[in-house]
Amino acid sequence: MAPPESFANYPDVLEGPDTGYHQRIDHNPVLRGLPLVLGAGIGIVSRYFLANAGMTKIKDMPVLDDVSPTFHPTVTPLGQTGPMIEFEPQLLTSQHASSKARYYSAGDYHALYKSGNATPLQVVEKLLGLTTGAGQYSDAWADAHGAEKLALEAARASTERWAAGQPLGVLDGVPIGVKDDTEVKGYVSHFGLKYNASLPFFAPQKETVWPVKKLQEAGAIVLGKNKMHELGSDTSGVNVAQGTPTNHLNKAYYPGGSSNGAGSSIGAGVVPICVGTDAGGSVRIPANFNGIYGLKPTHHRTHVMQLTMCVTGPLAANVADLTIAYRLMSQPDASCPTQGRFALSLPPAPSAKRVMGVFRDWFNKADPPVREMCDRALDYFASKRGYEIVDISIPFLPEAQVAHAALCISEMAVKNRRRTPNPADNLSLAGPANRVLLSIGAQVSGGDYLKANSLRTVLMNHLAFLFQKYPGLLIMTPATPLIGWPRSPGDDSYGMSDTNITMRNMSYVFLANMTGTPSLSAPVGYVDPEQGEGKLPVSLLATGEWGSEEQLLAWAREAEEYLHETYPEGRRRPDTWVDVMALAQGQQ
């Protein structure tokens, strides 16, 4: 089967072997507290983790002997690159307004400003009082070091446009957050690290990255930088250096990472949209843990990054806002020969095939309540939405997840070396858990790196086979197999290293990062927690063919309708949810 001509760099269409799915049961030591602090300085600890995780064994797989490595999984849909798809009426007006757990959308802010009952400046002033103080919402926001004035300046400009009857559009005056590793002019990008004013690395940024710039040009106001897991290295969201954001649905659980501040602030209603990054679920896992929506776009779709796994994508409280943010962020950058070539992602035609692929052996490894909740949602899509459910298999998934981890930490270790004047001092920036992880990453050999990328090629070839065999295919899994990640006493003081939970938490999301495919997390229900108060959300994860973001967003709108109108309990929001509309109008 030949690759389609409508793409550049489409993988060879080759079916891989049927290897089944045999879940790795890792037995890595769990380090926290003083043992973690002590272990971080002992080289034998990192060498043990490297060998025990199986990262040195990928290069010995005979199936990879004659397979060329794929370093950046950039598969580019070709065709018309613009103009941007116009926003449909349903994106501009409040959806599910009768829900008792509705989240405000950009359309609600637009209506508020149009009514004259509040201005963008009033909204931003109220929100800065929440995010820069010592209250329960400030733990999701990194120190702005005085850059709050930039948000106020943008809010004044938006207020003036509204007063003149010349708003830029639906996002004009809407507050958003931007992850702490994403460049915004005038703000420090800490990458979740402890601030050190003496290092050039912590200087305010001189430029804003393309996807954030497009949101600002549409009138969105960057309220500040969202906290993140230190170095984006894990998916719990715990951060010793900056403080760990709250999961407002259940404070006894972590908010997920690495875009922890984004998940926390959207989940609490502080902002409707955030910009995150995702190299191993860092958009989709916090979206799941906080009951919101997260999109990991096709590799390089919104912004070209040096890392071979990482992409910039939106998180949002509603699918309408996720769609608006995605379309603006993915506009082609004419100055970029890679990102600027991507053709528009188009919504599927009404006659398009609707197919969901499920690899049952893999899917069924989720915790039983998660699996049951996701199965219930799949039944809805099959019986009420006309999707055909087909059985699929994907080869070498356990090995590919180990390869994904090896690639991520080795690239992270290399990147971190340039953050101190003397590269040999780079570990001094990180907390104990990351000193262990960076030490492991520094030991990944050239052979390990090459063959991990050869395994990426095998995986991409097989997905190409599936997408050609089943046009319109969405690969369906839970977003994470876990019922949340419980917080443990003492972790906020020293951090923790629990590679066993980390790997399991990423056991579905990593596929899209390895292959460069787009993937979207949407909540479909809630389950009882093991500790604390407040039910925990469960999300389905849909992974589509390269360039299929609009197909994923169309599916997410159906999932949102299911959650609000079919799921018995309906959507939930935390008791600490902020009513920004009432706050801005002086009603709270």
pLDDT digits (tens, 9 = 90+) for 451-487: 999 999 999 999 999 999 999 999 999 999 999 999 9
Q: Give the pLDDT score at 95.
A: 86
pLDDT tens track for 77-106: 999 999 999 999 999 998 888 888 999 999
Q: Is the pLDDT of residue 188 over 70?
A: yes
Bridge-based pairing of strands 355-358 and 7-8 is unpaired
Q: Give the pLDDT score at 87.
A: 97
Domain definitions of the chain by residue range:
94-351
Determine contact, residues 177/224, Cβ cutoff 8 Å. Answer: yes
Three-class DSSP labels, 347-372: CCCCCCCCEEEECHHHHCCCCHHHHH
In 268-363, alpha helices (H): 284-289, 319-329, 360-363
Q: Which residues contact 401 (CB under 8 A, 6 or more apart)?
A: 24, 503, 506, 507, 510
**CA end-to-end span of the chain:** 62
Segment 207-223 mean pLDDT: 98
pLDDT band at 41 (very low <50, low <70, confident <90, very high): low
pLDDT band at 513 (very low <50, low <70, confident <90, very high): very high
**Between 380 and 94, whose confidence is greater?**
380
Q: Give the pLDDT score at 50.
A: 85
pLDDT tens track for 385-407: 999 999 999 999 999 999 999 99
pLDDT tens track for 122-165: 999 999 999 998 899 999 999 999 999 999 999 999 999 999 99
pLDDT band at 116 (very low <50, low <70, confident <90, very high): very high
Output the six-digit token pair for 167: 């708003």
Q: Is the pLDDT of residue 308 over 80?
A: yes
Q: How much is the mean pLDDT over the chain?
A: 96
Mean pLDDT is lowest, of 26-30, 101-105, 233-237, 485-489, for 26-30
Q: Is the pLDDT of residue 40 over 70?
A: yes
Q: Give the pLDDT score at 490.
A: 86
Segment 168-191 mean pLDDT: 98
Polymer length of the chain: 588
- pLDDT above 70: percentage of residues in the chain: 99
Q: Give the pLDDT score at 46.
A: 81
Q: Give the pLDDT score at 47.
A: 83
CATH number 3.40.50.10680 given to 94-351? no
Calculate the alpha carbon distances from 510 to 295, 422, 519, 529 in Å.
14, 33, 10, 25
Mean pLDDT is lowest, of 43-47, 173-177, 577-581, for 43-47
